[in-house]
Amino acid sequence: MTEATRPEVVRNGLSRRGFLAGTGSLIGAVTLTGHAAAAQPRATAAVSDGAHIPALVIGSGYGGSVTALRLAEAGVDVQMVEMGMAWDTPGSDGKIFANTTSPDNRSFWLRTRTKQPLSNFLGFPIDKDIPRYTGILDAEEFAGITVYQGRGVGGGSLVNGGMAVTPKRENFAAILPSVDPGEMYGTYYPRANAGLGVATIDPNWFETAECYQYARVGRKHAQRSGFPFVFVPDVYDWDYMKQEQAGTAPRSALAGEILYGNNYGKKSLQKTYLARAKATGRVAISPLHKVTSVVPAAGGGYTVRIDQLDTGGATTATKEITADRVFFAAGSVGTSKLLTRLRATGALPALNDEIGKGWGDNGNVMCGRANHLWDPTGSLQASIPTGGIDNWAAGGAFAEVAPLPTGIETFASFYLSITKTPQRAQFTYNPTTGGVDLSWQKAWKQTSIDAAKTIFDKINAKEGTIYRTDLFGTYKIWGDHLTYHPLGGAVLNKATDNYGRLRGYSGLYVMDGALIPGNTSVNPFVTITALAERNIAQIVATDL
C-alpha cells in the first residue's frame, strides 16, 4: 500500500462515510474532548490469536492513551498491547508498588541487580541483587547512556515525578518547528493539561509544609544568585498530599515513593486517560504482550506478531492478529527500535531513511550540592518536585529542585537539569546480534554539564558550598550516564508526515515521544500528550 491508497475500511458493516453518516451529530456535538455514548464495558481477556482489530495501539503511555481514548470516542474499537504488567494487584506487603528506599523484584524490568539512578550514598554503593521479574522501571543500557523507562499499563506516568510543564511559547519553534504554536497553546496544551489533571501546589501551604523545606532552600539559593525560581505544576493530588502531611491519609509522596511507582496520590494515566478510555467500552488492554513484527497483510491492513510474556520475561505464546490500523506508541526507544528493525529486515521496507534518527536525551544531567549546617533540607521530603530554576535563555538549562528522600537529614540539595543540546543519535539495526544499537556518545554529555554549571557554579560561589561527589560513584560530581526523557527516533514531518502518519504506508502512525527531535526545554510528557491530541484529532477527522 502507498500513502495514496487509503482503503475505505469496513467495520461492523459500515464504511467511514456510512459510520459518519450514521453518527452525524456524535462527533460534532461531543467534540474530541467530550465523551461519546459508552458501549458496555468489554472483557479484559488478552487479545486472541487470529483476531481482527480495527485499531491496534502499541504501548499505553501518554501518546498511546490519548490515541486510544480519542479513537474510542469516535466509535472505533481499540486493542492496546503493553509489554509491561497491569500493576493492579498488591504484592505480599499489601501494596502494588515498592518503596524507593527498599527496591525488590517489582522495581526493575528483567534485571537481577538494581541499577538505581543514584548508585551511591555517602560514598557507598547502594545497588543490590533482586529476583528477575517484569518490574516497573527499565534501565535500558546502550553504548554511552542508560535510558530509564516505565514498564506497565500507564508507561512513563507510573515512574516519573509528575512534573507537568508546558514549555515557554518562545521556545516552541525549536521543539516542533513544523507545528503551529497557535493551535498548540490555544487548544492542545490546555486539552492535555485538563486530561492529565494538572494542578499547581497551594503556594501558602508550600511556605510552611515541612516536606518542602528542601525546595524552599533551593529557592533561596537560586534567588540569591539571581536565578528565577518557578513553581511547576504536577499531576499529584495536592489535597491528598496535605492529608499525608496532616497524618490523615496513607503516605506515598511523603513515604519516599516515586522511582518505582506511587501507591497513592499520583494521577497516573491509569486514573486519567486510560480510565476514560476503558469507560467507553471500546478499549481493551493486553499487558505482558510485546509486538515483534508488523507487515502488510494480503487482504489489507497489517499482520502483527505478538509475544505473550510471563513475569520472568519468557515467551509463553506467540499470536498473529490483523489490524486495519497500527499506532506505534511504545515510547521513543520502543517505537524507534521496532521501526528500525522492521525497516532493516524487510518487514516494512518502504519506511524512509529518517527512521531511527533525531534521538536525544532532553539534555538530562544530575548533580547534588553540599549545603552548610545552617541550611538543612529536611529529613521528611516530598518525593514530588514542585519547582525549578530557569536559566534557559541565558545558559540553556532548566533545573528541577529535586528531592533526596532518604529519611535522614543530608544537608544536600539535589537537581535534575534539562539542557539545550545539539547532539542527536541514531538507532541502527545490528544484523549480527539481531538487536538495535544507538550511536550515543558519552562525551556529548559535556554540553549538558557546561549548561548546568552556569547555574550551580554560581550558586556554590555565592553560598560558599561545593558539589556532592558521593551520589554517582566515588568522587564523581555529575550524573551524566542517563536520561529519563528519551525523545526522537521517528521525527515528525521527517519519518512521518506532519501528523504522525508514517511515510510509505497507509494506516501506520507514530503517536509518542519518538516524534519530538530530542529536546523540549522542560519535562516532556505534557508536550507528548498535547502533540498526540493534535495528531489524533486530524487523523479522526480525515482517516477513519
Residues designated as active site: 400, 485
Can you read off the three cell numbers belonging to residue 482? Answer: 542517563
- Contact indicator for 260, 103 with CB cutoff of 8 Å: yes
Report the C-alpha gap between 439 and 124 in whole angstroms: 31
Q: Which long-range contacts (CB under 8 A, 24 or more apart) does 50-54 make?
A: 50/319, 50/320, 50/321, 51/79, 51/319, 51/321, 51/322, 52/321, 52/322, 52/323, 53/77, 53/78, 53/79, 53/321, 53/322, 53/323, 53/324, 54/9, 54/11, 54/78, 54/323, 54/324, 54/325
Q: How far is CA 313 from CA 288, 339, 435, in A?
A: 9, 22, 17
One DSSP character per residue, 193-252 reads: HHHHT-B---HHHHHH-GGGHHHHHHHHHHHHTTPPEEE--BSB-HHHHHHHHHTSS--S
User: Is 117:482 a contact under the CB 8 Å cutoff?
Assistant: yes
Q: Report DSSP state, residue 502.
A: B
- Calpha distance 364→394 (Å, rounded): 18
Kindly give, in sequence order, each residue whose CB lies less than 8 Å from that of residue 384, ignoring residues fewer than 6 positions away. 161, 162, 234, 236, 241, 253, 258, 266, 403
Phi-psi group of 378: left, alpha or beta (phi > 0 → left; psi -120 to 50 → alpha; rest → beta): left
Cell of 406: 532518604
Whose cell is 515557554? That residue is 168
Nearest to 510 by CA among 530, 524, 495: 495
The Cα–Cα gap between 40 and 390 comes to: 48
Q: Write the burial class of residue 215 (CB in 10 Å: 0-12 exposed, 13-18 middle, 19+ buried).
A: buried
Identify whether the C-beta of residue 329 lies closer than 8 Å to the C-beta of residue 61.
yes
Q: What is the rounded distance in angstroms from the CA atom of residue 414 to the CA atom of residue 400? A: 8
* C-alpha span between 217 and 229 (Å, rounded): 11
Strand partners, 302: 296, 323
Element housing 394 (H / E): helix 392-395
**Phi (first) and psi of residue 125, to 5 degrees:** -65, 145
Task: Output DSSP code: residue 486.
Answer: -
